[in-house]
Amino acid sequence: MQTISFEIAAFILTLAGLIYSLTVKRRQYMVRGGLITKLQNQHFVFLLLLVTNLLSAASSVIGAWLVPYASARVVGWQYLLHAFYFMFHTTLSICFALYIMNVNGTGMGRSRSFYFLFALPYLLAELMILTNSFTGLAFYMDEQFVYHRGPWMVLLYAVGAFYVVLGFVFFFRYNKAMSRADRRAIGTVILTATFGIVLQALRPELLVELFAEALAFLMLMVLLEEKSGHIDPVTGALNRLALTDANRRLIQTGQHYGIVLIKLTNLELYTRLFGGREMESLLMQIAAWLTAVSSPRDCFSYGQEEFAVLVMDPSPEAPERMARRVLERFGQDWRVGEMTLRLEAELAVARVPEEINTLEQIEELLASSYQRSGTGSHLLSYDELAALRRSRTTEVALRRAVENRALRVWYQPIWSVEKQRTVAAEALLRIDDEEFRGVSPEVYIPIAEKCGLIRDIGGFVFEDVCRFLTTHGDIAAELEYIELNLSVYQFLYDDVIAHFEQIRTKYAVEPQRLNLEITESASDRTAADIKESMARLRALGYTFSLDDFGTGYSNLSRLIKREYLNIKIDKSLLWEGDRNEDSRRLLDSMTRIIRSLGYNVVQEGVETPAQLRRVTEAGGNLIQGYYFSRPLPEREFLAYLRAERETRALYKFKNGESSEGERL
């Protein structure tokens, strides 16, 4: 005697889950697209599991209820209900395997031929059930209307077992593609369903298998489907959690795909003008359009004003092609009610695994602030985006270095041809932090200028140079001045001159011993108020050097104004002259012209005797470069000056002088 109470309970549980899914969570299960698209959607397959389990339970309950009334009048219905039960129950097994594949991403990017081969055993089993009325190979009813299994029934069980085992294989082989919580949820479901199958095998009269499966699906809904509903409540698109899970699956299963990130940059302007409903309507429009040009499973709303599209086309140009299409749309109007809006967006593109290949890198990408200055919509390549991220990472490290007082000043000697000794030095910033090992100041100084740290850094260097000149007066007295790099951004602060004067007065340093370097490119774009500040500094006794001369559009007419003590010629011209005769002649002519106007010429980057000889023959009178010394920490620089003074004294004692160009 069979007990159908468990079957009835299975029907009720499954029906409740189905009603909940199609009402409260209906947006989650409304999947657009073709059959393959639907089969690759976790939520759609879960809906199939519920439907097939419900129909299996209904077939089993009605079939068991008809057993006492077995007769020629109802045998047809009994036969049909048995066929339905096996059809739906076999469908359960393939849906189980599909669900596991969708949760861990192994079903993504599969071709139609894969799905045909995958479904072939199931299709053959269904064909056997549909033709069973003619063959009786699966089951049959005898003359007393009693149900019997046919000789091929074992094939139906084998097909079911095949898909269950396949689901287990996908689960265990690609378990790292799922979160720990998802692994635990599916593991619990598998144990529950397995317990029901084993119990019914031991006690066939209980009919507990479908109840255990219904209970397992209820657990799936609570532990996985509900948690990973993944639907953004405003836009209806998949949310941040869904995006993380999708990327985890795709990476762990070795997929090649692209990510297009869309950040709305001027939405805040309209937020002030419209109410909540209008803004929700606008965001829903954007999500709907992005979904239409991609697919529901590939469009995500992962932030308040941020969207992402996964481009499953593995070709390298596909992500940028999608981004260009999005850019084109954002160049057009959006309508909210009676209003017409023009939205701006910043887009970033990255390819997986060619450019990023870990979930951590993707999470960093999602968290990145990649908005670029300026108006309008823009597209950033991954290289540009990475540069922005590095800039912001450097900014954070730079702030930490300033707060931790990890700044240091190093000195590079400037050697005089006439006096045959070091007469000055350039103060250079160095950062005593592991993160800045091997990082050039040319990388972090522009970042300091943009984020406002240049004021603190410039003030530190200025004060440390003043301290150096005062503390080491005996040896530093031989230096006519020390050069300090001055950024035009420092002039943006009203108190820069007062700040310099306060420090200089504190250490009792004469202003003539502080020579301020400003680059040629900065000098080109110097505003009137900055020029006025430079004039005030000159009036106080400070001098200026024009740095990096020759790197841009060198306007020799500025030299007539006599605003600078030194003209520093960039090392790139000298090094290019080693390879190019025209560059060499240009450098020689430039040096002679500048010297004829009465300026000192400081040649940077001198590293070889041949370079030194060429520069001095052209008239260059101040030399800076590795030929004499690299930049040195304070202690080593002091040792260098003492050694040079002792060497000079020794030569004088012997009444001998070094020949021009001979290294001291």
Among candidates 371, 241, 289, which has minimal Cα distance to 281? 289
Distances (CA, A) of 611 to 413, 426, 519: 17, 20, 23
In the chain, DSSP finds a helix count (H) and a strand count (E) of 26, 18
β-pairing verdict for 345-352 and 378-380: parallel
- As a whole number of Å, the end-to-end CA separation of the chain is 110
Among candidates 120, 149, 144, which has minimal Cα distance to 132? 149
The token pair that represents 85 in the structure block: 């039960």
Beta-strand runs (E) in 391-437: 407-416, 421-431
β-pairing verdict for 514-519 and 481-485: parallel
Strand partners, 340: 335
Backbone angles phi, psi at 135, to 5 degrees: -100, -35
Distances (CA, A) of 326 to 259, 292, 319, 344: 13, 11, 11, 11
Strand partners, 568: 602
pLDDT of residue 318: 92
Instruction: State the Cα–Cα distance between residues 184 and 613, nearest whole angstrom.
Output: 76
The token pair that represents 275 in the structure block: 């109410």
Q: Which helix (H) or strand (E) holds 623?
A: strand 622-624
In 174-239, where does DSSP find H-type helix? 180-202, 209-220
- Assess contact for 337 and 278: CB atoms under 8 A: yes
DSSP character for 238? Answer: B
Collapsed DSSP state (helix, strand, coil) of residue 62:
helix
**Domain layout of the chain by residue ranges:** 5-225, 240-380, 417-651
Side chain identity at residue 167, one-letter code: G
**Residues 6+ positions from 405 with CB-CB distance below 8 Å:** none
pLDDT of residue 68: 74
CA angle 520, 521, 522 (to 5 degrees): 90
pLDDT of residue 335: 84
Among candidates 265, 347, 352, which has minimal Cα distance to 304? 265
- Assess contact for 261 and 323: CB atoms under 8 A: no
Q: How many CA atoms lie within 13 A of 60 on its CB side?
A: 28
pLDDT along the chain (664 residues), means of 10: 68 84 74 78 86 86 75 78 87 89 78 88 92 85 75 87 87 79 80 80 73 79 66 82 86 90 82 72 90 89 90 90 92 83 88 88 76 65 70 82 91 94 95 82 83 89 96 89 90 83 95 88 60 89 86 61 86 87 88 90 94 93 95 95 84 52 38
Strand partners, 334: 341
Among candidates 261, 260, 240, 248, which has minimal Cα distance to 357? 248
Instruction: State the Cα–Cα distance between residues 361 and 344, nearest whole angstrom.
Output: 26
Q: How many CA atoms lie within 13 A of 650 on its CB side?
A: 8
Instruction: State the Cα–Cα distance between residues 546 and 538, nearest whole angstrom.
Output: 14
pLDDT of residue 662: 41
Q: Tell me the CATH number of domain 240-380, given options 3.30.70.270, 3.40.1360.10, 3.40.50.720, 3.40.50.620.
A: 3.30.70.270
The token pair that represents 132 in the structure block: 């069973």
CA angle 610, 611, 613 (to 5 degrees): 65
Q: How many CA atoms lie within 13 A of 83 on its CB side?
A: 20
CA angle 500, 504, 505 (to 5 degrees): 120
Among candidates 115, 189, 123, which has minimal Cα distance to 156? 123
Whole-model pTM?
0.52
Collapsed DSSP state (helix, strand, coil) of residue 152:
coil
Instruction: State the Cα–Cα distance between residues 592 and 229, nearest whole angstrom.
Output: 76
Instruction: State the Cα–Cα distance between residues 455 and 448, nearest whole angstrom.
Output: 9
pLDDT of residue 489: 83
> In Å, how far from its chain's centre is CA 560?
50
pLDDT of residue 663: 38
In 555-622, where does DSSP find H-type helix? 571-577, 581-596, 609-618
Instruction: State the Cα–Cα distance between residues 552 and 565, nearest whole angstrom.
Output: 20
The token pair that represents 131 in the structure block: 């033709």
Instruction: State the Cα–Cα distance between residues 130 and 142, nearest whole angstrom.
Output: 19
Backbone angles phi, psi at 601, to 5 degrees: -110, 115
Tokens 């390549």 — which residue?
381
Whether omega before 353 lies within 30 degrees of 0, making that bond cis, reads: yes
Distances (CA, A) of 418 to 162, 588, 601, 605, 661: 92, 18, 12, 19, 11
Domain covering 5-225, topology: Rhopdopsin 7-helix transmembrane proteins (1.20.1070)
Instruction: State the Cα–Cα distance between residues 425 and 429, nearest whole angstrom.
Output: 13
- Residue range 417-651 forms a domain whose CATH class is alpha beta
Collapsed DSSP state (helix, strand, coil) of residue 296:
coil
pLDDT of residue 375: 61
Instruction: State the Cα–Cα distance between residues 340 and 174, nearest whole angstrom.
Output: 48
Side chain identity at residue 140, one-letter code: Y
pLDDT of residue 660: 43
The token pair that represents 621 in the structure block: 């009178």
- Assess contact for 29 and 45: CB atoms under 8 A: no
In 318-418, where does DSSP find H-type helix? 318-330, 359-367, 382-403
Among candidates 52, 61, 134, 36, which has minimal Cα distance to 89? 52
